[in-house]
Chains A and B, each alone.
Chain A
């Protein structure tokens, strides 16, 4: 299991804004360590955000997404207390799912 994400979801005027901060090294596979050997690629490949069991955003990442990836997006609907769930999978098969309640 990866490290927990920080997720914030807030509804305003019928639109929910979601901010996600994932904790992941996002190694490109091109960086060399102190010994001069390549650090193997290790990065999140897929992200999915769901609201009430419905997908509201899907993403695929490559190695160029920054360490500890950040996402911000908005979807129509949402009410305080309802849940937004975010999941990611990385190229090593590790995964992480976190959930947050929408705030008003």
Chain B
């Protein structure tokens, strides 16, 4: 009798554990597909140096590829507060494009996630405190690539 009760209890625990695990996985899946997908990467956005930012993005040593990534920036920016940046890529399966300004206090400016069906290009505008390199990091098929171009800033856009 006791044995039977114990067995019953064990079965119940097993079943309960299974349900618990499924609930956790379910919640993770839900978060992953909606809210958490766009989670703000605090470590990356607080990085003060490019190496640190790349590491925080999971791109420890991205391959330099100036041909498969097209980075369009002005050579000279008269107003560092509004520097237009366009990044596009001819790589297949581009998942992510990240834009950095290597001499800004926080080097990472913006990160873009491209679902299937969205073209691998984006245009935005960034602030530059001084003459610096604009760096584009592209994740395609799970691999990271980068390129950079210098923008000469005649009036900084980060001060007061």
* Residues on A facing B (Cβ under 8 Å): 15, 26, 28, 30-33, 45-46, 48, 54-67, 69-77
Contacts and interface: CB of A to CB of B under 8 A. Distances in A.
B121 A73 contact: yes
Contacts of A30: 105, 158-159
Interface stretch (B7-15, B122-130, B136-144): B122-130
B22 to A, nearest CB: 26
Q: Among A30, A58, A60, A73, find the residue whose CB has the most chain B CB atoms closer than 10 A.
A: A60
7 contacts: A30-B159, A56-B117, A59-B110, A60-B39, A65-B124, A67-B81, A70-B125
Interface in B83-127: 83, 86, 101, 104-115, 117-119, 121-127
B37 interface: yes
A66 B83 contact: yes
Contacts of A54: 115
Given A31-B159, A59-B122, 9 more contacts: A15-B119, A46-B40, A56-B115, A58-B115, A60-B111, A62-B109, A63-B45, A66-B124, A75-B119
Contact of A75 (B38, B104, B117): B117
When A and B form their complex, which 5 residue pairs have the shortest distance between CB atoms, in order from nearest?
A64-B109, A72-B123, A66-B125, A58-B113, A62-B45
Q: Among B41, B45, B159, find the residue whose CB has the most chain A CB atoms closer than 10 A.
A: B45
A66 B123 contact: no
What class of interface size applies to chain B in its complex with A? Answer: 35 or more
Given A31-B160, A72-B122, A72-B123, A66 B81 contact: yes
Contact of B37 (A58, A66, A71, A72): A58
Given A65-B124, A69-B125, A70-B124, A60 B117 contact: no
A67 B107 CA distance: 17
A21 to B, nearest CB: 10
A65 B117 contact: no
A55 B118 CA distance: 9
A62 B160 CA distance: 18
A33 B159 CA distance: 10
Contacts of B62: none
Contacts of B104: 64
Nearest to B115: A55
Given A57-B113, A71-B122, A66 B105 contact: no
